[in-house]
Amino acid sequence: MPMIHRLKALSVERLATLGMYPDGAGLYLQIARGGSKSWIYRYRLNAREQEMGLGPLHTVSLAEAREAALEARKLKLKGIDPIEAKRSAAMERRIDAARAMTFDGAVTAYLKTRAGAWGNAKHSAQWESTLQTYASPHFGSVSIDRVDTALVVKALEPIWATKTETASRLRGRIENVLDWAAVSGFRTGDNPARWKGHLDKILPAKAAVAKVEHHDALPFREIGAFMADLKGQPGQAARALEFTSD
């Protein structure tokens, strides 16, 4: 059985001569020209000798280097190349970072894709203005993949009864942006801004809260002239209005 844990923390700090100092089980302290010290894990896999850097001594302690070497040995035992696994993990982190996008960033990207289709700068400006005014304060800086139902409702609820038409347009625009983000790979799962079968279970129907706009009443002195004009109008609608006015 190979000896392990040969090195001591104090001796590691004191060593200064160029060379490779074994701790055991493939872990080495490497001292390079100039005195820099770093950890190396040496292993053999598929008839190939490999060296895997585990970090400099000033950042990675002896205990941490031993733990990293242990994890590498476990991978090797499963037939997994520790270096390849490390590269894959780094690549995944870079991909995740590239995918990271805030809701505001998604709005900007989405509007760019729609610019040619709309062909109307005013339409795009209205979209952006609505989202900036009512959605951005609540989740504009939130990662697009973390926008959920609670956040969408938080933006819609304050204006759902007072500015119903605006709120309805806002909901649809949020839904479109989130759909684009899903198709583009920036988020997964159901769209939290969809209406049917989702928000319709939380918010009242637009017709139930929209303010009814009544026409001004016809001044009494103008009724005679109106009725005379109505009699001259063709169609059943005019006759029905005559009937209700009697």
- Would you kindly state where each structural domain of the chain is located, as residue ranges? 9-99, 103-209
Q: Quick one: pLDDT band at residue 115, thresholds 50, 70, 90? A: confident
Q: How far apart are CA 56 and CA 122, in angstroms?
A: 56
User: Does the pLDDT at position 229 exceed 80?
Assistant: no
Q: How far apart are CA 170 and CA 193, in angstroms?
A: 10
Query: pLDDT, tens digit, for every residue of 123-150?
Result: 788 899 999 999 999 999 999 999 999 9
Q: Which fold has domain 103-209?
A: DNA polymerase; domain 1 (1.10.150)
Q: What is the reported pLDDT for 185?
A: 86
Q: Quick one: pLDDT band at residue 171, thresholds 50, 70, 90? A: very high
Q: How far apart are CA 94 and CA 53, in angstroms?
A: 20
Q: Which of 153, 138, 223, 246 is nearest to 195 (CA)?
A: 153
User: Does the pLDDT at position 224 exceed 70?
Assistant: no
The better pLDDT of the pair 244, 60 is held by: 60
The better pLDDT of the pair 191, 94 is held by: 191
Check: CB of residue 23 under 8 Å from CB of residue 5: yes
User: Does the pLDDT at position 66 exceed 90?
Assistant: yes
- 9-99 and 103-209 agree in CATH topology: no
Find the helix or strand (DSSP H, E) in which 177 lies. helix 164-183
Q: What is the reported pLDDT for 3?
A: 81
User: Does the pLDDT at position 241 exceed 90?
Assistant: no
User: Does the pLDDT at position 1 exceed 50?
Assistant: no
CATH of 9-99, one of 3.40.50.720, 3.30.160.390, 1.20.190.20, 3.40.50.300: 3.30.160.390
Sign of the CA dihedral with 104 first, then 110, 114, and 118 last? negative
Phi, psi of 53 (to 5 degrees): -75, 135
Q: What is the reported pLDDT for 97?
A: 72
> Average of pLDDT values for 83-92?
92
The 3-state secondary structure of 125-157 reads HHHHHHHHHHCHHHHCCCEHHHCCHHHHHHHHH
User: Does the pLDDT at position 246 exceed 90?
Assistant: no
Q: Which of 89, 15, 221 is nearest to 23 (CA)?
A: 15
The mean predicted confidence, pLDDT, of the chain is 87
User: Does the pLDDT at position 114 exceed 60?
Assistant: yes
Check: CB of residue 174 under 8 Å from CB of residue 155: yes
Residues in the chain: 246
Q: What is the reported pLDDT for 46?
A: 86
The better pLDDT of the pair 118, 148 is held by: 148
